[in-house]
Amino acid sequence: MEFLAQYNLTGIVIGIATFLIIGIFHPMVTKGEYYFGVKIWWLFLVMGIAAVAGSIAVRHILWSTLLAVWGASSFMACPPYLMTTVLPVMFLIQGRASTSTSAAL
């Protein structure tokens, strides 16, 4: 990790990992809904909530960002009504948590 910070490569690693995570999750969601129907959305919801909670708990910026991307990608399988009501509240909570921790640093 020190190597990434020393050579300012953290942003590039986050970008490449985000591209890969989204690229992996899109087919997973599509195939999951194809084979199991829309009943599988709750599994992605639980995985997304766990990843966002982990993102709030982790202090390292690289891992926190990647967990947040993982969580947001998991929410692709959730029904639209859930994404417009419940999930924005979670991201508001995460925004407040990250603001308070970054101010302490």
Q: What is the DSSP string of 21-60?
A: HHHHHHHHHHHHHHHHGGGGHHHHHHHHHHHHHHHHH--S
- The number of residues in the chain equals 105
pLDDT at site 30: 84
Q: What is the pLDDT of residues 66-90, one digit of tens each?
A: 999 999 888 887 776 666 666 666 6
81-86's contacts with Cβ under 8 Å and 24+ in sequence apart are 82/45
pTM, to two decimals: 0.71
pLDDT beyond 60 at 103: no
CA–CA dist 17, 51 (Å, integer) = 15
